[in-house]
Structure 1
Amino acid sequence: MKSKIIKEFIVVIITIGFIFILTTSFGIIPALGNFLNPFGVWTVPDSAEYPESLIIEDANLISQVQVKIDIYGVPHIHAENDEDLFFALGYMHSYNRLFEMDIFRKYASGKLSEFLGAEYIEIDKFYKLLGFYRAAEKELTDMQENHTRIYQLIQKYCSGVNKYISDFSTKLPLEYHLLSVKPEPWKPIDVLIFRYLQAWELAPSTYDLDFTLLKKKLPDNVFDELYPNWTVGLPFEDPIIPNIKSNSPKNFKNTIVNTIVGISSFIREIPTILGPIEQGIGSNNWVVNGSKSSTGSPILCGDPHLAHQIPSIWFEAHLISNENNGGLKYETHGVGFPGVPFLVIGHNAHIAWTLTNTGGDSIVDYYNETVNDTHYYYNSEWNPLKIFEIPIDIKGGKKVYFTVKETCHGPLISDLLDNSYFNEYPHNDISIKILSNNLPRNGRYCAYKTLYGINRACNYSVYNESLSFWDSPAQNFVFADKNGDIAMNIAGAFPIRKKGVSGAPDGNLTGRFVQPGNGTGEEWAGFIPYSELPQILNPSQGYLASANQRPINGSYPYYLGTNSWSNGYRARRINDVLRNKDKFSVNDMKSLQAENYDYSVSQFLPILIETWNYSINAGETFSSEVRRAMNELYEWNLSEQRFIMNRSLIAPTIYWKWIELFEYNTWSDEFADWSVSGLKLPDIKILEYVTKFERDSKWFNDTRVAGTQDRNHTLIKSLNDTVDWLKINLNSDINKWKWNSAHKVFFQHLSLIESLNRGPYPHDGSNWAINNAGGIWDPIEKAYIVQFGPSWRMVVNLGNFSSPVESWGVYPGGQNSNPLSSHYDDLLGLWLNYQYHDIYFSSQPEEIVESNFLFRK
């Protein structure tokens, strides 16, 4: 009772601070005339903490379900059957994260305006045009016909969500009271649609547009040099799948400029939920077998890198069903997305798995169409456009319509440039062909069947069969089991293309550029069979690792993508560590996940130091500030912290700005000459190559000044520029250039209400450290602000058949989205300090149980 009074007092204080919101918009929150409704925000403390016990009754339940909620807010759900299990999970998701779930479905459905107001119309148009909702309707029909069991379980999950919405209709989460809105019932289509948003955001969706512009504006030999289809010739890569080779597909040239600039700009303006792929968003996973493990059994590790937000993108749960399915019961611990009934990453008593983003060119192609008001030209004839009006409901009751026109490839995305803030671009008619709208709906693909199957799997054979149904987003799945097996599988629907309407399928065709829409370009002809996607079981090296690097090398017969992979620095470091040590303990693996060693520093800094020494010996003079900065780098290179982006050091700040300016000074003059400034720069692997092996490369010559400059000139110029920039933008005192001042991590609340954010906190790491922490410079904060990175760290020791699985995990945030809850951010401190919580898989002793829920008829 005392704790409740304290919480209500806190609410009163918060309310006083919010009074101005009654007449003022703030973030996504409008003026709140009914803020003081006694059934509104005043009920928030009632759901802030789990009750000691709670009984939920529903006539649709088959048996009782017991839920033990542990000290970290993680529900351990014990059910007699799968239907009741997912009913209870739906209830627990909505109990903790209903508003987050609602925002995600509104976002993917193009319905933000009905929730947040007219300023979100352009975002809604974009997602309605992409057609995720229409694609989900088709998948739902396919699921009802071909994957009935999965559909039934999704229905039960939705029933659990709706039970909570009904039971707590007067005690909804804070955000509903602030926005004066209520949640609609949860439907199976809401479960499906979020995955399409994931696939879109995790794919390089504008790269085809960028490459088309670059191919148009750069001389052919220059484009091929800086943006090769494959970088097989560079000696720097550790591919995900060892010993699988790939070919070098041919380029196909196309042209159009204004429209492409407009579309690319429009897409980049759309905010993302998962994080910006251009910044290096990715993930790490790796596994060692028993021969390289101090435990004698496989150890599997994973940390997907997604957007940092409050509440977290993940929800942790332990799911147990006694239903017998092939002699196995469902018992899995891991994380999934609120709003989705199946765990995405985790382990059961037999296997463990996690995943990283493949990042291949598998989601979209673009076509330059020939159209009039009613028809488009394709295959030597005029065909009728599909034209339909799409409504957008706006908060307050208003409704607007916009017209979507479709060719056989897909909707005319260029139409979004009309009546938008990008209508200054005169444009051609470009359609977008998106994977979600073009998958075969004949039972071939069902990603939720994959998740249900691998959650239950007992060995690699069952797991591998389940993966065959996965479509998108394409992922690198790493696996281990109690048999001692380890594996890496790339799973997803990768289009095979053909040249022209009647061409034969050709694995060399790339779809890398905007294609002619008249039927003479590259058309989709099917998908790579799952059995022919890259995969490996029990490699002789005893380990496997992926960090979004190139999946394959050599002679692999299909095109998976190009220039969309990570630069490979995280992968090179992980492979170096796993390759060069005989045995790894669990603590070794935890330390590796937290490692802030930036592999790029090891490649570039020694060259800078060598060049500096040469310059000093040649009699060059430098300011005292530049000498001091170089001394910091010198000492860093000789210390135990060598190449480590540690927050307590000055050198990481100097290096990070220096590598940025070295890239800029190398490429910016030519890019300005060719009018392609602002487009995707060449991969840093290209810069590494010319820096190491082509000291007199033309790229180091600055075309904007007289004379000829070489590599050494550009290296030293970038150092001088770095010191000047940091003095102006960070601090005039070099002693205050520590990485903890210049590099901070920030967690923004979905509502954009500042008081609900967390951070910014001083932070280690960088884009290219295993602890992925890339940031964007904020001139107000005077720091690189990190808003994506490891979103869930997990380490699993599989053990043998006589010992249980052991596991540890953590994500930044907390299980409950209520800002008054002790589980709002209780895991954040662990995450910031590279610590984990124990995962209570084998048992949940009473001392770690803080609440008990009972579901019954």
Structure 2
Amino acid sequence: MRFLRAGIPIIITAALVWTLDRPHGTLPALGRLLDPVNGWAANAEPVGKDFTQTSHLNGLLQPVTIWMEDRLVPHVRAQNDHDLYFTQGFIHAYFRLWQMDMETRAAGGNISEVAGEKALKFDRMQRRKGMVFGAEHSVEAMEKEPRTKLVLDAYTDGVNAFIHSLKDRDLPLEYKLMGFKPTEWTNLRSALLMKYMADDLTGYTEDFPHTYLRDRLPKDEFDKLFPEKIPGYKPVIPEGTKFEPRSLPILSVPGIPDSLFAHFGEQPAIAYNDQDDMNGDKKEIEREGIGSNNWAISGKHTQSGAPILCNDPHLGLNLPSLWFEMQLQAPGVNTYGVSLPGDPGIVIGFNDSISWGFTNNYRDVKDFYMIDGIDDQCYNFNGTKHFYRKRMEHIKVKGKPDFIDTLYFTLHGPVIYDERFPDPAHTGKKIAVTWMAHRATNELLALYEMNRAQNYDQFVNGIMNFQCPAQNMLYADRAGNIALWGQGQFINKWKDQGKYVMEGKDSLTLWGQNIPMRENPHVLNPPQGYIASANQAVTDSTYPYWYNGHFLEFRSWEINQALGDSLMKATSGYPGFSDVPNEVWMQKVQNSTYSYLAEHAAPVMQQIMDRLNNRDKDATGKLWDYNLDADSKNATAFQITWSILYANIWKDDFKNVPENLWPTPEVTMQLLLSDTAAKWYDDISTPQKETLSDIVKLSYKQTMDSIEKIKANGLEWYQVKNTTLAHLTKLPAFSYDHLKVGGWGNTINAVKSDHGPSWRMIVEMDKDSIRGLGVYPGGQSGNPGSPYYNTFVDHWVTGNYYNLLFLPNQEKQDASKIKYTWTFN
């Protein structure tokens, strides 16, 4: 008995050790996580940590020096391209390895392996839409080109050099929480990250909703409510620009085009499941847009006489941040800006001669086809039997057997939906997707050449390699030029081709010839003295090729009003153009919370309420300054009222249709301003005939009810919209919510709950010097236990910027500007 009593604690201890040393389901091995030496505590980083070091890195050809300022921005000085990108890969992994790992897992449909069965649907969608398929093609293209092969191989080796140096105690905290370890980096993973960005920027199309709504509405109503271009739009390329003559023929519309489009009819009704939207793979796009802005101003209109380039691409607000700020120097290149952890090069920034920035172009580069399937082996195309090419996808699922999904490939591309993975319209049909990102594109070559370009011609030659995602590429240089290209690879289409889901059995619906990239819309030094893009329609009607897309106009109207009025009239109205430095003016415009929508819609709504309440309609005057400021309660009242009014106008007419498929806020605003007796104001679900006055009154009442319910938590606009920087794990402890920032999708500073300006940059390209300002929401380190994890958040929230330290390309640097020095040999 004595031996039994002695043995029980030993058995219990052994069982406890065994249990804590192993993961269970999606839980990590808690014993390893709580280990005070190798567990989570090892990731705590002291505030005064000295990053200065000298180390040997196997794989470098020559010594590399890295200067880091107090913000932990690295300035890499290498003696050749191989070492430059090897070091960039090492640095990216050093600060952001887990982020790189998870984002490329997400891109390739490998999240279930570490997150479990809850991620299986997402992984299946990623495989089915052709993410890996497209990345494999791009790797082939990049590895055939000598320069990009060198860059990609060196970058991959640098990432792996860091991975191989890690011990268990050094693993980023998230690996310990999730209970897995990093695997080797590959060139394919870098290609997958590029496709992930392409998916984020070109993944949304309106093919499914347009197909459904086209059959549901009379043609004149459909055209009015869903116009290809919003009346009064201000195109990216200024009106009157002379375009290159078209080299391809104008394609005639097929004789019976209606037979070439799929038809969903009234039934089955559109339905949403989980996070599906009409594309089945992305969250609903909020109708007022997520936003991106860029503009350049000619030196003829600046105090210094130097052109200014501004860019603030609006993307998901996450921690770690999407971007990593750095400078890259080697013979033939000296470039500064933001890079994507997981890919080599600088994406948005400047060098010692030029600067550049991007906004999303939103021109449609993704089409869907209903496949006339015969059986599981073949399908009908042009009356002939064609065999599918099959691909077995093995998806690893944590704690479960592998899931095997069979992918079917057609002439149109992969079958994204079928009976085993239904489309959002629940047609029960096989639907394939054709997407420019499936092609063997080499955007890395474009970045490589842009980073080194010394003039406009070299910049243009570089971007000819940028095919997908389509981007509005802005340019300014020290010679005084400004320019913009609506860049990407586009197809010469007949009118309406790809606007709706098409029948895949007819060759008339196939993509035709590529439009030569030199014929993409562009402008150099326009007479108006500035260029601006904000995801609006790209050209006026004189552009010789037909295209469609998902375009947004509110920010474009406001930016063009701000720049055009100030530059052309040289007034002091937005704010004092002539009274303050150009950089300060640009900061104010980038951070503007002025709502074009509120300016135009709020007075109409208020006049109706004044009339209903027998108030003098002229007594109200301007309601407020129409700024959606963080502390504004008026902003909260307006946005809630507008949201409710918008729903009250359309919900009865678009019953069972998700709200993000209704007419846009731009169309709705124009309806309010131009037609107070439109049929859409009548609620067809009631016997009486409602007017605009009726639904405005109802909307105000419902707004008051809503405000009553939420006022306990604060009615300030920032409290209500709750802008959040969420860690990729969604753990609240690693995230920041209720950030005190204003704006919305209808303001230039389009900060929403989880989207906003991911990198604000202002660069003045003077003949004698370059002055840059920038900030992004986050910090250089991806480690939640580091003081550099959230370094820039307060600056970003308050609209402040950092001076960008652009070091000259020379061996010796000004030591007073450098806090840490790494030396690798």
TM over 0.5: yes
Q: CA deviation at 1:179?
A: 2.0
Corresponding residue of 1:500: none
Q: CA deviation at 1:176?
A: 1.3
What residue identity is the alignment partner of 2:480?
G
Unaligned ranges ≥5, structure 2: 1-16, 244-249, 571-576
Q: CA deviation at 1:85?
A: 0.8
1:297 matched to 2:313: no
8 A contact 1:308–1:746 mirrored in 2:
yes
Q: Structure 2: how far apart are the matches of 1:510 and 1:208?
A: 10
How is 1:122-271 mapped onto 2 (pairs within 5 angstroms)? 122-145=121-144, 147-170=145-168, 171-203=170-202, 205-231=204-230, 234-244=231-241, 252=258, 253-256=261-264, 261=270, 267-268=276-277
What is the RMSD computed on CA atoms of the aligned residues? 3.1
Deviations along 1:519-562, one digit per CA (max 9) or x if unpaired, are 15521012221111110000000000001011111122223323
Q: CA deviation at 1:308?
A: 0.6
CA 1:571–1:676: 2 relative to 1, 3 Å: same
8 A contact 1:743–1:762 mirrored in 2:
no
Corresponding residue of 1:697: 678
Q: Structure 1: how far apart are the matches of 2:391 and 2:281?
A: 27
Corresponding residue of 2:6: none
1:824 matched to 2:811: no
SS of the aligned residue for 1:669 comes to coil
Deviations along 1:665-704, one digit per CA (max 9) or x if unpaired, are 11111112xx435451112222122211211111112212
* Structure 2 residue corresponding to 1:799, chosen from 766, 774, 780: 766
Corresponding residue of 1:614: 611
How is 1:503-542 mapped onto 2 (pairs within 5 angstroms)? 506=494, 508-519=495-506, 521-542=508-529
Corresponding residue of 1:345: 348
8 A contact 2:76–2:329 mirrored in 1:
yes
Number of equivalenced pairs: 778
Corresponding residue of 2:643: 660
Corresponding residue of 1:463: 459
After TM superposition, the score normalised by the length of structure 1 is: 0.85
Q: Structure 2: how far apart are the matches of 1:424 and 1:560?
A: 25
Q: CA deviation at 1:804?
A: 1.2
Q: Structure 2: how far apart are the matches of 1:450 and 1:130?
A: 25
* Structure 2 residue corresponding to 1:731, chosen from 691, 707, 711: 711
SS of the aligned residue for 1:554 comes to coil
CA 1:454–1:230: 2 relative to 1, 3 Å: same
Q: CA deviation at 1:367?
A: 2.8
How is 1:246-395 mapped onto 2 (pairs within 5 angstroms)? 252=258, 253-256=261-264, 261=270, 267-268=276-277, 276=285, 280-321=289-330, 323=331, 329-395=332-398
Q: Structure 1: how far apart are the matches of 2:556 and 2:251?
A: 22
Q: Structure 2: how far apart are the matches of 1:601 and 1:83?
A: 53
Deviations along 1:245-294, one digit per CA (max 9) or x if unpaired, are 99999785530367894698764399989995756123000010111111
* Structure 2 residue corresponding to 1:651, chosen from 631, 634, 640: 634
Corresponding residue of 2:473: 477
Deviates most, 709-718 or 573-582? 709-718
CA 1:205–1:744: 2 relative to 1, 3 Å: closer
SS of the aligned residue for 1:713 comes to helix
How is 1:63-78 mapped onto 2 (pairs within 5 angstroms)? 63-78=62-77
Q: CA deviation at 1:238?
A: 4.5
Q: Structure 2: how far apart are the matches of 1:26 and 1:244?
A: 63
CA 1:732–1:120: 2 relative to 1, 3 Å: closer
Corresponding residue of 1:833: 798
What residue identity is the alignment partner of 1:656?
Q
What residue identity is the alignment partner of 1:156?
A
8 A contact 2:335–2:451 mirrored in 1:
yes
Corresponding residue of 1:783: none
8 A contact 1:470–1:492 mirrored in 2:
yes
Same amino acid, percent of matched pairs:
27
Q: Structure 1: how far apart are the matches of 2:712 and 2:165?
A: 59
SS of the aligned residue for 1:581 comes to helix
After TM superposition, the score normalised by the length of structure 2 is: 0.88
Corresponding residue of 1:9: none
What residue identity is the alignment partner of 1:718?
S
1:813 matched to 2:813: no
CA 1:270–1:197: 2 relative to 1, 3 Å: farther
CA 1:419–1:212: 2 relative to 1, 3 Å: closer
CA 1:372–1:839: 2 relative to 1, 3 Å: same
Deviations along 1:379-429, one digit per CA (max 9) or x if unpaired, are 1111111223211123358423111122211222223x5278x89946112
Q: Structure 2: how far apart are the matches of 1:50 and 1:271?
A: 46
What residue identity is the alignment partner of 1:711?
L
Corresponding residue of 1:105: 104
Q: Structure 1: how far apart are the matches of 2:824 and 2:280?
A: 39
What residue identity is the alignment partner of 2:711?
N
Corresponding residue of 2:14: none
Q: Structure 2: how far apart are the matches of 1:169 and 1:398?
A: 29
Q: Structure 1: how far apart are the matches of 2:288 and 2:557?
A: 19
Deviates most, 185-194 or 58-67? 58-67
Q: Structure 1: how far apart are the matches of 2:353 and 2:540?
A: 32
What residue identity is the alignment partner of 1:477?
M
CA 1:376–1:185: 2 relative to 1, 3 Å: same
8 A contact 2:276–2:282 mirrored in 1:
no
How is 1:395-544 mapped onto 2 (pairs within 5 angstroms)? 395=398, 398-415=401-418, 418=420, 425=426, 427-437=428-438, 439=439, 441=440, 445-497=441-493, 506=494, 508-519=495-506, 521-544=508-531
Corresponding residue of 1:603: 600
SS of the aligned residue for 1:496 comes to coil
Q: Structure 2: how far apart are the matches of 1:403 and 1:105?
A: 22
Q: Structure 1: how far apart are the matches of 2:63 and 2:283?
A: 36
Corresponding residue of 2:4: none
Q: Structure 1: how far apart are the matches of 2:173 and 2:252?
A: 53
8 A contact 2:270–2:424 mirrored in 1:
no
How is 1:86-101 mapped onto 2 (pairs within 5 angstroms)? 86-101=85-100
8 A contact 1:368–1:515 mirrored in 2:
no
Q: Structure 1: how far apart are the matches of 2:477 and 2:608?
A: 50
1:670 matched to 2:653: yes
Q: Structure 1: how far apart are the matches of 2:238 and 2:166?
A: 49
Corresponding residue of 1:503: none
Deviations along 1:98-131, one digit per CA (max 9) or x if unpaired, are 0000001111111112222232222111112222
Deviates most, 106-115 or 363-372? 363-372
What residue identity is the alignment partner of 1:61?
L
Corresponding residue of 1:117: 116
8 A contact 1:201–1:274 mirrored in 2:
no
Corresponding residue of 1:502: none
SS of the aligned residue for 1:393 comes to strand
Deviates most, 542-551 or 578-587? 578-587
Q: CA deviation at 1:472?
A: 1.0
Corresponding residue of 1:575: 560
8 A contact 1:315–1:337 mirrored in 2:
yes
8 A contact 2:353–2:455 mirrored in 1:
yes
What residue identity is the alignment partner of 2:461?
E
Deviations along 1:335-394, one digit per CA (max 9) or x if unpaired, are 011001111100111111101001111133333433312110001111111223211123
Q: Structure 2: how far apart are the matches of 1:332 and 1:684?
A: 40
Q: Structure 1: how far apart are the matches of 2:650 and 2:206?
A: 19
Q: Structure 2: how far apart are the matches of 1:185 and 1:805?
A: 39
What residue identity is the alignment partner of 2:805?
Y
CA 1:50–1:168: 2 relative to 1, 3 Å: farther
Corresponding residue of 1:15: none
Corresponding residue of 1:782: none
CA 1:73–1:89: 2 relative to 1, 3 Å: same
Q: Structure 1: how far apart are the matches of 2:726 and 2:284?
A: 12
Q: Structure 1: how far apart are the matches of 2:346 and 2:512?
A: 33
